[in-house]
Structure 1
Amino acid sequence: MASPAETYDAIVLGAGGAGLMCAAVAGQRGRRILVIDHADQAGKKILISGGGRCNFTNIHTAPDRYLSANPHFAKSALGRYTPQDFLGLVERHGIAWHEKTLGQLFCDQSARQIVAMLLAECEAGGVAIRLGHAIAAVTHADGRYCVTHGDRTATAPALVIATGGPSIPKIGATALAYDLARQFGLKVVEPRPALVPLTLGGEELLFRSLSGVSTEVIARHGKTAFREAALLTHRGLSGPAILQISSYWRHGDAIALDLLPDQPQGWLTEAKRGRPRATLTQCLRGHLPDRLADALAERLALPGDLGNIPDRKLQDAERRLSAWPFTPNGTEGFAKAEVTIGGISTAGLSSQTMEARHLPGLYAIGEAVDVTGWLGGYNFQWAWASGWVAAQYL
């Protein structure tokens, strides 16, 4: 005989960053909260983030560092729960941290400390957490949501979708959030991989022989540009600059890399005046990894001494090096994507509460929603902020 349904004030689907944050805050507000996740471990994405040290926020968080069909949607949540608020929580738990480049904050020791902190906060709020429970069915009737998981059933007047997106399926990521959204009448913006390596084919695979070479570049797509390292791989392009630009890239688009971002205009003709007997290869080797310098010089096809090369040809080479074009043929997909772009449409949600406009008690937070941050702790900050906001209204 089936056991009777357990009753709660809210059920949170997903024990990731957003779900745990939401549950902990609501629990400490006196609400009876149940968290359900099919994974056998809480916070799996947190554990593998930042090389195992969790890049848990970014001090430069601002709405313009997020992509969404509605660029204004994230403003309210990000303004009400800030990186300083989360940092305060981290410090109260005695977790040592450090700032890396570009405002990124990491744990000194381990990402496990962030998961342990969130679980401790949930415990302080009396939150019930069920791991390893596949969600079999979710229904809504008479103002209550009913969730069947394993051989148990739970009901509540509020349901929070915090199951993330499909990026990194090997840790259990699924598209459940989108199925639930559609079931309850919310639209979904087409999900695609973001913060993901780009793949190259055809002529551009000549760079495959340079797999493992990394150099600082400015990666550009339209008016968007990021200055960080790019890494050449056996499949194409990776590294922080490429992951960043991948969120803006669409199939068929070209991207351009400034391979010498520190060189002023006219530097090659200056080099010709100062070192007329140097070759282009020697000149490039002074600024780039040798293998990359050699490959680029070969492509530019300007043999001999600089002194014998016309200025206009050197200027043309400079232009090419400052905007070397690549047209990726794809990405490495959700398997390698750090996050998902797209997701539950913000058009159906309140930016003040994260609640569905047409269906009281239904909330969506974190990566499940069409809000995607830059690389470097921005997506965790959205998880904390959106989770905290929803918890105020459960």
Structure 2
Amino acid sequence: MERYDAIVLGAGAAGMWCAAVAGQRGARVLLVDHNAEAGRKILISGGGRCNFTNIHTAPDRFLSANPHFAKSALARYTPADFVALVDAHGIAWHEKTLGQLFCDGSARQVVAMLLAECERGGVTLRLGQTLGEVAHRDGAFVVTLPGGDALAPALVIATGGPSIPKIGATGFAYDLARRFGLKVVEPRPALVPLTLGGDETLFRELSGVAAPVEARAGKAAFREAALFTHRGLSGPAILQASSYWRHGEAVGIDFLPERGDGWLIEAKARQPRATLRRTLGEALPERLAGVLADRLEAPEGPLAGCTDRALAAIEARLADWRFHPNGSEGFAKAEVTAGGIATAGLSSRSMEATRVPGLYAIGEAVDVTGWLGGYNFQWAWASGHAAGVAIAERG
């Protein structure tokens, strides 16, 4: 039986960084993954360029049953800290919109960097390993692997959630957590396209049409692009809103968020002979303008023939168009998983289970879910760092 100071299950973003941090601080670490390749989710992120952090990271940009849980880890390992690591490895990067940082080259550079950091920490890496039993006895965790058992006083659950199963994602983290008495907040797809049914299937005919909008779900609002698809709604604004959407609720869309109150009445004064369809077509993609005009049952004649009251009602509808999704495209298309291992059973400083000494949970496996745009990677780095430091401090 091989003995270690810690066994990390999952060679994704959080697991690799946790293992590297603990190893570089003197801990003997075993990093295990059932995939034959480390960092598979990193490799497909950001269109293959890895949106590795966001400079606007703040706790209010994360969802959790406990909105305060992420504060400690995020404060102790910041985007600037990770950027310094990227710079130290000579990886060129650039900022896109809204504080999103991407590699100039390939996401493989980030995976290579993390593997190099693990090597620097003397981490033992075992990929393509089918896990057998995971047990806890006599103050130690025993993991059964094809090559024999491994034992350590610390075990880290870093196997993520079930989003994007085609790359090997599963709900293993939740099964393991429950086995050790930890509660799990019901997992659900997040940052995911929404589907439309019923009389809203008309909008599927707009597949491929995109427009800048403000999308609202619950108390959250996001001003970015929305994209109509053959199944419903997608695009950054919709993906963001989807994390806050619950089945049965509506999603509100402001199709013209830059327009102030009274803009249609002003348009009538400027171009009284223009039709509503033409006026909308000047502000929105033509196909979208046509469908909205049809749904509004707008008069075919000029704006001059519409009362100000009627135009104000049209404005109000366009500013809060209610879609009623009948579902989402599920974990297969979800970028992340909302919910997960309940934070109520974890230390926000160390990520250690309060009732199971030596058991840690980090990254997407935990009930902390970030916005689109690099926030979930920053949570992986921050939570992995917190656990890695805590493991090394155990001695």
Give TM-score, length-normalised by structure 1: 0.98
1:306 is matched with 303
Helix, strand or coil at the partner of 2:136: strand
Per-residue deviation, residues 311-332 of structure 1 (Å, max 9, x unmatched): 1111111111111100100000
Between the aligned partners of 1:169 and 1:152, the Cα distance in structure 2 is 27
Structure 1 residue ranges (4+ consecutive) displaced by more than 4 angstroms after TM superposition: none
Per-residue deviation, residues 115-136 of structure 1 (Å, max 9, x unmatched): 0000000000110110000111
Identity of aligned residues (%): 72
Per-residue deviation, residues 148-183 of structure 1 (Å, max 9, x unmatched): 122421000100000000000000001110011000
Between the aligned partners of 1:152 and 1:286, the Cα distance in structure 2 is 68
Aligned with residue 367 of structure 1, among 364, 367, 381 = 364
Aligned with residue 236 of structure 1, among 232, 238, 241 = 232
Aligned with residue 105 of structure 1, among 101, 104, 109 = 101
Bigger shift: residues 241-250 or 306-315: 306-315
1:200 and 2:217 aligned: no
Per-residue deviation, residues 10-53 of structure 1 (Å, max 9, x unmatched): 00000000000000011111111000100010000000000000
Aligned with residue 291 of structure 1, among 279, 287, 291 = 287
Between the aligned partners of 1:192 and 1:203, the Cα distance in structure 2 is 26
Aligned with residue 51 of structure 1, among 21, 35, 47 = 47
Bigger shift: residues 337-346 or 221-230: 221-230
Counterpart code for 2:338: I
Helix, strand or coil at the partner of 1:60: coil
Between the aligned partners of 1:149 and 1:196, the Cα distance in structure 2 is 34
1:24 and 2:16 aligned: no
Aligned with residue 70 of structure 2, among 61, 74, 78 = 74
Give the C-alpha shift of residue 62 in structure 1: 0.4
Gaps of at least 5 residues in structure 1 are: none
1:35 is matched with 31
Per-residue deviation, residues 288-315 of structure 1 (Å, max 9, x unmatched): 0010011111111222111111111111
Tell me if the contact between 2:93 and 2:102 (Cα under 8 Å) persists in the aligned partners. Answer: yes
Helix, strand or coil at the partner of 1:382: helix
Aligned with residue 241 of structure 2, among 237, 240, 245 = 245
How many aligned residue pairs are there? Answer: 390
Give the C-alpha shift of residue 227 in structure 1: 0.3
Helix, strand or coil at the partner of 1:135: coil
Aligned with residue 186 of structure 1, among 182, 204, 220 = 182
Per-residue deviation, residues 326-360 of structure 1 (Å, max 9, x unmatched): 01000000000000000000011000110010111
Bigger shift: residues 114-123 or 293-302: 293-302
1:332 is matched with 329
Gaps of at least 5 residues in structure 2 are: none
Counterpart code for 2:314: A
Between the aligned partners of 1:206 and 1:254, the Cα distance in structure 2 is 17
2:171 is matched with 175
Counterpart code for 1:129: L
Between the aligned partners of 1:186 and 1:82, the Cα distance in structure 2 is 28
Between the aligned partners of 1:132 and 1:231, the Cα distance in structure 2 is 38
1:269 is matched with 265
Helix, strand or coil at the partner of 2:265: helix
Give the C-alpha shift of residue 223 in structure 1: 2.4
Between the aligned partners of 2:145 and 2:270, the Cα distance in structure 1 is 74
Helix, strand or coil at the partner of 1:136: coil
Between the aligned partners of 2:131 and 2:10, the Cα distance in structure 1 is 10
Per-residue deviation, residues 99-129 of structure 1 (Å, max 9, x unmatched): 0111100000111000000000000011011
Helix, strand or coil at the partner of 2:233: strand
Tell me if the contact between 2:218 and 2:245 (Cα under 8 Å) persists in the aligned partners. Answer: no
